[in-house]
Structure 1
Amino acid sequence: MVRVAILDDYQNVARRLADWNSLSGCEVAAFSDHLADETSLVARLGDFDIIVAMRERTPFPASLLKRLPSLRLLVTTGSRNSAIDLQAARAQGIVVCGTGGLGYPTSELTWALIMAHMRQVATEDRAIREGRWQTTLGRGLKGKTIGIIGLGRKGTEVAGYAKAFGMDIIAWSPNLTDERSRAVGARRVALPDLLGQSDIVTIHIVLSETTRGLIGEKELASMKPSAIIVNTSRGPIIKQDALVDALEKGVIAGAALDVFDDEPLSDVHPLVKAPNTLLTPHVGYATEEGYRVFFEDAVEDIAAFLRHSPIRVLVAE
């Protein structure tokens, strides 16, 4: 019997969103809780042949992989996972496969966060439940300037939403061209200009060694005091200590965040207490449609591996 573990199934939906019963000769177990301690993970996963990881929720460094001698296949949802040591996996004979995915749910959540923050939706919802009426004054989007950091697929979708709302769109990324910017109705500017001119800064760039800590104290200080920053990409792109400090001192007007340095976010984390924040628990990609792609592809990956013909294999760059 081949044992399959599905990790970090927070919403308890993995089993119903794909036909796991089609995997003949497999015993499938889904875990809805998150284990961060490596020793606890080894105790839970030591006897599993195949593991399905939900994005980067559970990292697989070399130290953990070495302690999982039964592991033969590691499937990550999505087409990349920086939390898996691909070189270590290959050295141990572990095949790592990815899945397809949908980009637009994260773009949609970005726009939901922008609108909710600008119109103070969460604050007014809470107020009305507490017996108070019209406690804040919202701000509109038409005529405002949105600065998009990263004009790939998701950034382009956000630019489309901004255009529909009558916003001025500026953009920056390291390799962005004027032609690419014009194609989506944006103007290419330098990063300092984007930060200084934008009413809303939204991040859609991939986390890498060059983008880690891209937005720090100096960058936040260059933003308008009335501006907000939105991050649905990866937490470490913004230096979180600097962001907390900027929010507490009123350097910027607010932040809407779906991603954090450490996840799940602790309820005592400074960002939870910071003023003018709108926080969601990394749900940008977490839609029924997106999860169906993830889990149906994971089942295909496992079936192909068991036929000795693995598909969507990930290799270290």
Structure 2
Amino acid sequence: MAERLRIAVLDDSQHVARDAANWSALQARAEIDFFDAPLGGEAEIIAKLSRYDVLVPMRERTAFPASVINALPNLKFIALTGGRAPSLDMAACTARGILICNTRGDFVGAATPELAWGLMLACMRSIPQADASMKRGGWHDPTLVGATLGGKRLGVVGLGKLGGKVAHYGRAFDMEVVGWSQNLTDEDAKAKGATRVDKNELFATSDVISLHLVLSDRTRGIVGAPELSAMKDGAVLINTSRGPLIDEAALIAELKRGRIRAGLDVFDVEPLPTEHPLRALPNVVLTPHLGYSVAPAFRQFYSDSIENILAWLDGKPIRMLNPNALGASKA
């Protein structure tokens, strides 16, 4: 009798996968294991996943470079949650005949900009600090005098789908909105309700700066010591995109000076190490990469993933990212 298909659902650190979708049709045809904790380094990932035929990664929480892909002997299919994962080596998968199918992300377009806006408000009004003070029995704290967003300048770095929505929120809050990215034109900025300025002006004149860029070789470290030191006293930097967009050491140094504030949802290393210096700074609001982490998104991610695996098992794959894998070697 043939061995049952083995499926690993990865990085379910919020313990939502089991209840987010109906797994029964897939459980009738396969053995499914749910992994709640990070898998560790490459050697640990390979050791833990070598027996599985199908992986269901949670976006890019676990990296799958070629060195890992090529060391997983049984891997045949990846049901990727979300539209893409830069940490997954698609070329290595295609070369081995490992098909990747993705899911819809209808709720991410609202979830991440809304979190960015929440971080802005939290920083401008010291909401986490006020909440902590109240729960300690306090009332008015003279160190927690806030500021408004209305009338201030919002600088959006990256005016794509998510950045454009943040710009829209800025106008609704009566903010002046400016934007910059490497390929932004005056026309594109105007279409998003913003004015294009150069990078130096954006960092030097904005009261709040929100990053919405895809991480790539040319955007890694795009916010460094010169940009951070140019920021106005009291300005706020928001990052809900990817941690390595910012030079982390330069950011920590600037935050320690106490001139600026930050709201951060993403980090160079995730999960953020327990003793990381960012955890001890009073002028930063931290969230654990919650940008897309909303219940409707998880329901869609996992329902689509189940549908993708069943379609592949039936020989009629859907939502294929690398269809060329169908004709590649299975070695």
Q: TM-score range by the shorter chain?
A: over 0.9
Residue 35 of structure 2 is aligned to residue 31 of structure 1 = yes
Distance 2:313 2:159 in 1: 39
For 1:305, give the aligned amino acid: W
For 1:85, give the aligned amino acid: D
For 1:2, give the aligned amino acid: L
**Aligned-pair distance for 1:97?**
1.8
Residue of structure 2 equivalent to 1:15: 18
Residue of structure 2 equivalent to 1:74: 78
Aligned residue among 99, 102, 113 for 1:107: 113
Greater CA drift, 96-105 or 227-236: 96-105
Q: Residues 221-236 of structure 1 correspond to what in structure 2 (within 5 A)?
A: 221-236=229-244
For 2:149, give the aligned amino acid: L
Contact in 1 for aligned 2:99/2:322 (Cα 8 Å): no
1:148-172 deviation per Cα after TM superposition (whole angstroms, max 9, x unaligned): 0011111111111111111110011
Residue of structure 2 equivalent to 1:130: 136
The DSSP-based 3-state class of the residue aligned with 2:85 is coil
The DSSP-based 3-state class of the residue aligned with 1:67 is coil
Percent sequence identity over aligned pairs: 44
Distance 2:98 2:21 in 1: 24
Contact in 2 for aligned 1:230/1:257 (Cα 8 Å): yes
Residue 247 of structure 2 is aligned to residue 243 of structure 1 = no
Residue 173 of structure 2 is aligned to residue 165 of structure 1 = yes
For 2:87, give the aligned amino acid: A
For 2:284, give the aligned amino acid: T
Consecutive unaligned residues in structure 1, runs of 5 or more: none
Residue of structure 2 equivalent to 1:271: 278
Residue of structure 1 equivalent to 2:326: none
Residue of structure 2 equivalent to 1:93: 97
Contact in 2 for aligned 1:201/1:229 (Cα 8 Å): yes
Contact in 1 for aligned 2:231/2:260 (Cα 8 Å): no
Contact in 2 for aligned 1:9/1:54 (Cα 8 Å): yes
The DSSP-based 3-state class of the residue aligned with 1:29 is strand
For 1:8, give the aligned amino acid: D
**Aligned-pair distance for 1:94?**
1.3
Q: Residues 250-289 of structure 1 correspond to what in structure 2 (within 5 A)?
A: 250=258, 252-289=259-296
Residue of structure 2 equivalent to 1:190: 198
Contact in 1 for aligned 2:79/2:305 (Cα 8 Å): yes
Distance 1:297 1:211 in 2: 31
1:115-159 deviation per Cα after TM superposition (whole angstroms, max 9, x unaligned): 011100000111111222222101111100000001111111111
Distance 2:233 2:274 in 1: 27
| Structure 1 vs Structure 2 CA RMSD | 1.3
Q: Number of residues paired by the alignment?
A: 315
TM-score normalised over the length of structure 2: 0.92
Contact in 2 for aligned 1:5/1:50 (Cα 8 Å): yes
Greater CA drift, 85-94 or 261-270: 85-94
For 1:158, give the aligned amino acid: V
1:16-45 deviation per Cα after TM superposition (whole angstroms, max 9, x unaligned): 111221224112111111122222222321
TM-score normalised over the length of structure 1: 0.96
For 1:115, give the aligned amino acid: L
Contact in 2 for aligned 1:7/1:31 (Cα 8 Å): yes
Residue of structure 1 equivalent to 2:51: 47
For 2:13, give the aligned amino acid: Y
Consecutive unaligned residues in structure 2, runs of 5 or more: 324-331
For 1:213, give the aligned amino acid: G
For 2:231, give the aligned amino acid: M
